[in-house]
Amino acid sequence: EDQVTQSPEALRLQEGESSSLNCSYTVSGLRGLFWYRQDPGKGPEFLFTLYSAGEEKEKERLKATLTKKESFLHITAPKPEDSATYLCAVQARGSSGDKLTFGTGTRLAVRP
Amino acid sequence: KAGVTQTPRYLIKTRGQQVTLSCSPISGHRSVSWYQQTPGQGLQFLFEYFSETQRNKGNFPGRFSGRQFSNSRSEMNVSTLELGDSALYLCASSLVPGMNNEKLFFGSGTQLSVL
């Protein structure tokens, strides 16, 4: 059974204080690993897809990396508007359609 | 371009009742999937529809069902509601399932409270 574990559950940063969020996964052949951002009262918003170990993707202050067992979401010099819950999800090779297995997320709060 | 639209936004029901939730995908998207989100379990896959056919189903009891119409709009139904069904129900759409998962778009969800 596919499993995704995210840590920490919650993280409080000062504005400008860089940090990383972790996503550990167990899957029978990885088809893709996804990062989403979710704001209160809204649905998840797509950030990145990573497909193979060693791959990296960047968007503004966010950078996602992937190894064979985990993924990191690095946040460089965060701003208060980066406060949100960050969700990691995997899709297994051989899985059809859009079925994703999600972690429970990391709640990030950035103080000004 | 309008996003994924879910109605209603909030629902309050009592145990034993049934409920129907609606989802209109982004124009041109043919695949709709449903997820249940709770604080303890996170997002859990319910089912997925493409061209009016259920392609995938998660590990939920038969009280949870869904359907998709010819215009790609989808509904999910929960019968004999239980307290544990209280959750945020999210709908997501994509152009073609599995082909390009980078473009899985979520709606804002329906918050269901069962009393």
- Kindly report, residue by residue over A22-77, the tens digit of the pLDDT: 999 998 888 889 999 999 989 999 999 999 999 999 999 999 999 999 999 999 99
Q: What is the mean pLDDT of residues B87-91?
A: 97
Tokens matching residue A4: 């995704």
From A77's Cα to the closest Cα of chain B, the distance in A is 26
Does B72 contact chain A (CB < 8 Å)? Answer: no
| Chain A interface test: which of B101, B106, B110 (most A C-beta within 10 Å) | B101
How far apart are the C-alpha atoms of A85 and A44, rounded to whole Å?
9
What does the pLDDT look like over B19-46, one tens digit per residue? 999 999 999 898 999 999 998 888 999 9
How far apart are the C-alpha atoms of B82 and B15, rounded to whole Å?
5
pLDDT confidence of B95, banded at 50, 70, 90? confident
Task: Determine whether the interchain pair B42/A103 forms a contact, defined as Cβ–Cβ distance below 8 Å.
Answer: yes
Report chain A's mean pLDDT, rounded to a whole number: 93
Percent of chain B, pLDDT > 70? Answer: 92
Residues of chain B contacting A87 with CB distance shorter than 8 Å: 42-43
How far apart are the C-alpha atoms of A63 and A77, rounded to whole Å?
12
Give the model's pLDDT for residue A94: 66
Check whether B99 has a pLDDT greater than 70. no
